[in-house]
Structure 1
């Protein structure tokens, strides 16, 4: 049996969103301070590369892997 990986879409309003804000919006962390420690201890991939900067700008088309889930950022309204 083949396991199909689902990719969730995440809409951003504006030009970009920071990685820390993304983690807060997805309820992975509750504050920017927690995001700093989360990124230090947990692997987060942005477009396949490990990322640990909470201020990293994410743009539509970027793909993230966080906590075993994969996300694709899309432009919101």
Structure 2
């Protein structure tokens, strides 16, 4: 599991995927989100501008990201 320390109130999902190195670009991040490959707190979520906050869990491929 990847633990990501949030610096502000939230981080957009696409930026989180880039910041953790799970995708190479913003375009790649948008693609995996729109294809339903990302789960937000256990549910598939298609919102590219989703605001991820402390306590959320993002799952992509075999990776889990915990926001702390």
Please, what TM-score do these two structures have when normalized by structure 2?
0.84
**Residue 31 (structure 1) aligned with residue 39 (structure 2):** no
**Aligned-residue RMSD, C-alpha:** 1.4
Structure with the greater alpha carbon radius of gyration: 1
Distance 1:68 1:52 in 2: 18
- Residue of structure 1 in register with 2:67 after alignment: 73
Any runs of at least 4 consecutive aligned residues in structure 1 with deviations exceeding 4 A, and if so which? none
Please, what TM-score do these two structures have when normalized by structure 1?
0.76
1:30 Cα deviation after fit: 2.7
Q: How many residue pairs were aligned?
A: 68
Gaps of 5+ in 2: none
Gaps of 5+ in 1: 1-6
